[in-house]
Structure 1
Amino acid sequence: MTRVICHAGPEDVPKSRFDRDVHVVLYGRGHMPDGVARLGAGVMDAVSRLGFALQSEAFDFLTIAMAVTAADTFILREEAEDRWSRGLELTIPLSNPGPWIAVRARLEEALRFLSGDAWSLEFRSEGPRRPLQSAIDRRRWRIDLTRSDSACLFSGGLDSYVGVLDLLAGGGRPALVSHSYRGDRRYQNLTAQALPVVCARFSANAHPTWTGNSEVSMRTRSFNFLAYGAAVGTAISQIRSGRRVDLWVPENGLIALNAPLTARRIGSHSTRTTHPHFLQSMQGIFDAVGLPVRIENPLRHQTKGEMLRRHATDPRFAAQAVRTVSCGKWKRDNTQCGRCVPCLIRRASFHAAGIADNTGYRCELLATVMADSGQRDDLASVRYAVRKAPTADIERWVLQAGPLPENAVERDGCIDVFGRGIEELRTFLHASGLP
């Protein structure tokens, strides 16, 4: 296993270090000793704007998420024996390690499911401390959560846009929680400004930094996202006399399940960021350590097309929907590619909802993509899946991505939404001239 050793401050980093060990200063800012990584200074700044000292369990979970992000970033998959599944031994100092030691095995298993790596976690005391109330009181600008009744993960994508609109239409007032990666903040701001109600917003960027190479697959990014959401949800709970607060994770059912389109995509090569098994596992951990947060995906039984269809008659929705970002490759030139799996599902959803898709993709014509051996991998996989679906055992197919809920209604909902999502893709491909 590769060891990643985290520290509360640069003064805790030993002068003598093994070459293969990676040392990381959590919430570190400024110059670090040679070869030492840092991350999370912006996260600490964001937490200090919540208005009061955060519950220790929520802050320690944030610290765990910082450490996991560090390991997932600084240890390259290409150095693993199979060039994918890493062995990661992670030492994390916490302010109160007791509750987390009790759930260590459950955390390791949840992370294994999420990233496909073998995780070994060690929790120690004397970890980073949450911002003091005296420091919080000195902030000129703080996040006003007094009108918020829930927290909602808000990527600025189409699913989170619909998810927040639905909550607002039902009389809710969620606080929006965002990863503010470089380039993302602009379209997140534009999407938030398009909402009919102004919502409180929390955004942060862990910004892992060091002198070595970095891994880009980032299978644990949703773990970090949940930690942000849990922090904001707990803060709202503290305002509301400790009552349990909903943490909404809006993601359409097809993407949430993300069952492999082909045999080559089985396992963690397909992301599991909002898979129901992962979210259920994290809920059990939250309950065990006393985080007053209930994780819920309100779109889990809806296809992306069904989500859009409910808002299709609103011209303001259509105008903003095309400005959202679904593509994982858009940062190359701030243009969505139009040919990756998320883009194809997005395009199929506009078609299913009868909304003109004026997004402006890099690859507009699917027939051209299909003829290009260097670009057609995702499209060919989707085409294979839609051809396979009519004779496939859908339940067995979905189970390849991970366990399904035991509750019969939830389980059937997962199976049914996957079949409907594949049908949306089939209809779109046929309309695009790819039978």
Structure 2
Amino acid sequence: MKVLCTSADSLPASMRPDEQAFAFFRTAGREGVGNIANKWRSQLKRKGFAPDSVTWDFVQFCLAACAADLACPRENSADGWTRVIELTIGLHEPMRWVGFEEHLAKMLKLLTGDYWTLHFVAGGEAPPTGKVTSLPHDCVCLLSGGLDSLVGGIDLVSGGRRPVFVSQLAHDDSVKQGKFANRLGGASAHWQWSHGINFAGQREPSTRARSLAFYAFAVLAASRIEGERVQVFVPENGFICINPPLVPGRVSSLSTKTTHPQFIAMMQYLLDELGCRVVLELPYRFKTKGQMLQECRDQSLLQGLACETTSCGRFRTYNRKHCGRCVPCMIRKGAFHAWGPNRDATVYVHDSLAASDKSSGPDDAMAAALAVLTMEERGLDRFLGATLAFAGPDERALYRQVLSDGLVEIEAVLRRDGVL
């Protein structure tokens, strides 16, 4: 599977029949060529963005990887899941990236489970050259519309920080993102962007690389903030950061690695080596979702907004409602249960895990129950296996504890609903 992403002017005169091509930031006007974030570069210029070449090429790299992820259907691979992707990316300063190909291939394999080959060539778009004005912010915080990002924003603002919130446009969640940002920092403290990847043909629905666009937007936002090192906060609870497979069949990329500490560390290494002045922070990597709710700095504000957040992995499948039975929904239910009685006013398609319909997808409740039973009968370490092999001795015990506590929160809901 071959993908080319470059500026419209740098596209070859004739396209290879086995390669999907994309043009950055404008349409190429050629049949079979997709586009990425059409007109976004000119919009950024009008908004006063003038990032350096390192930041801008990082954005182009991330968006290109997202495009390749979407354009390469897994069902066409040899095993129906694992792909072999050859991605050529046009950058503004490609020579900076020479030597990072192997590191990036490993980073993308961790994220998507695929085998990547990367080529960096001249032909990317130049950075926008807007008239830059200083902004009254001191950090960046990702704001997805989910419960964890809401807690992260509340904690930062309550602690005296002045974050700019960055969101990836996501259908109905976009309205929620705007509401949360407005309550926390005002409308001027929020940027919502979309990767805008468009092309003819089949799209891969698993979108394991989609989070790269989120990180690209965050690093771009950080370019507008003064300081030697700008913190980018990624608010995610530790259980989901690690995302341990509940059953042996859910290993590798079958469980998302979007905020996995190993992936974050690999991305931080890249940013540091390129000279990008951004520090990625995982402030809740040793906290469960329930502990995040319990320890949030503004309980009143959290209580008023928590139930409006989105956690469900099948939200679109159920017409913008929480299914109540996927793994993210179970973790959400467990967190609210740990937070206190009668706090969860979320509308679930399936209020009870015991009575939920199994026909629409995997039986996640049973998988969670098996995980809990495995932990009880054989011990936590037998359940975790090599899950924590990435962690050093000083942090392994902390990750082990958060995974244990996270399973306890899920177990409480399973027992409440009569699954266990």
- TM normalised by structure 2 equals 0.94
Give the one of 108, 113, 136 matched to 1:111.
108
Structure 2: gaps spanning 5 or more residues = none
Give the equivalent residue in structure 2 for 1:20.
Answer: 18
Q: Give me the whole-angstrom Cα distance separating, in 2, the residues matched to 1:165 and 1:37.
A: 39
* 1:6 corresponds to: 5
5 Å-filtered alignment, 1:111-260, equals: 111-132=108-129, 136-137=130-131, 146-195=135-184, 200-236=189-225, 239-240=226-227, 243-260=228-245
RMSD value over aligned CA atoms? 2.1
Match of 2:33 in 1: 36
Secondary structure class of the residue paired with 1:331: coil
Cα pair 1:42 1:206 within 8 Å, conserved: no
- Which amino acid in the other structure matches residue 153 of structure 2? V
SS of aligned partner of 1:301: coil
1:240-283 per-residue CA deviation (whole Å, 9 max, x = no partner) reads 3xx11111111000000001000110111000000010001111
5 Å-filtered alignment, 1:273-288, equals 273-288=258-273
Structure-1 separation of matches of 2:171 and 2:275 = 33
**Cα–Cα, structure 1 residues 49 and 361, in superposed 2: closer, same or farther, change >3 Å?**
farther
For the residue of structure 1 that corresponds to 2:232, the secondary structure is: strand
Query: Is the 8 Å Cα contact of residues 260 and 400 (structure 1) preserved in structure 2?
Result: no
Q: Matched residues in 2 for 1:163 and 1:230: separation?
A: 18
1:388 aligns with 2:364: no
The one-letter amino acid paired with 1:25 is: A
Please give the alpha-carbon distance, in whole angstroms, between the structure 2 residues aligned to 1:402 and 1:20: 39
Q: Distance in 1 between matches of 2:134 and 2:285?
A: 27
Alignment match of 1:338 (pick from 318, 324, 328): 324
3-state DSSP of counterpart to 1:24: strand
| Alignment correspondent of 1:300 | 285
- Residue 368 of structure 1: SS of its match in structure 2? coil
Q: Letter of the aligned partner of 1:385 in structure 2?
A: A
CA contact 1:267–1:401 (8 Å) conserved in 2: no
Offset from partner CA, 1:88-116 (integer Å, 9 cap, x none): 11111111112211322111110011100
Distance in 2, Cα, partners of 1:157 & 1:233: 21
Q: Distance in 2 between matches of 1:347 and 1:312?
A: 21
CA distance change for structure 1 residues 374 and 197 in 2, over 3 Å: closer, same or farther?
closer
How far apart are 1:395 and its partner, in Å? 4.4
Q: Which residue of 1 aligns with 2:351?
A: 364
The aligned residue for residue 70 of structure 1 is 67
Residue deviations 1:289-314 (CA, integer Å, cap 9, x gap): 00101111001000000111124983
More displaced 10-residue stretch of structure 1: 201-210 or 67-76: 201-210
Note the alpha carbon deviations across 1:17-51, whole angstroms, 9 max, x for none: 2221111111124x631111111125425533552
**In the alignment, structure 1 residue 416 sits paired with structure 2 residue 401:** yes
Distance 2:351 2:134 in 1: 42
Partner of 1:264: 249
Asked whether 1:324 is paired with 2:309, we answer yes
Q: Percent identity?
A: 34
In the alignment, the residues of structure 2 paired with residue 251 and residue 145 of structure 1 have an alpha-carbon distance, to the nearest angstrom, of 29
Task: Give the unaligned 5+ runs of structure 1.
Answer: none
Tell me, yes or no, if the aligned pair for 2:63 and 2:212 is still in contact at 8 Å.
no
Alpha carbons 2:337, 2:413 under 8 Å: kept: yes
Separation of aligned partners in 2, 1:121 and 1:313 = 45
What is the aligned residue count?
Answer: 418
8 Å CA contact retained: 1:26, 1:38: yes
The residue type equivalent to 1:202 in the other structure is W
Take 1:275 and 1:290, find their aligned partners in 2: how far apart are those partners? 23
- Following superposition, the deviation at residue 64 of structure 1 comes to 0.4
- Local SS of the residue matching 1:326: coil
Counterpart code for 1:349: A
| One-letter code aligned to 1:405 | A
Q: Which amino acid aligns with 1:377?
A: D
One-letter code aligned to 1:338:
G
Q: For residues 99 and 13 of structure 1, do their structure 2 counterparts lie closer, same or farther at Cα, with a shift above 3 Å needed?
A: closer
Residues 116 and 321 from structure 1, CA distance in 2 versus in 1: closer, same or farther, beyond 3 angstroms?
A: same
Q: Which moved more, 1:176-185 or 1:59-68?
A: 176-185
How far residue 164 of structure 1 moved from its aligned partner, in angstroms, is: 1.0
Deviations 1:200-220 (A, max 9, x none): 222210121111110110111
Summarize the Cα distance change of 1:353–1:266 in structure 2 as closer, same or farther, 3 Å threshold.
Answer: same
Give TM-score, length-normalised by structure 1: 0.91
**Residues 1:101 and 2:98 are matched in the alignment:** yes
Q: Comparing 312-321 with 49-58, which one deviates more in the overlay?
A: 312-321
Cα distance in 1 between the residues matched to 2:78 and 2:294? 46
Quote the residue 1:61 is aligned against: 58
1:152–1:358 Cα change, 3 Å: same
Write the letter of the residue equivalent to 2:114.
Answer: D
Q: 1:115 to 1:195 in 2, by over 3 A?
A: same
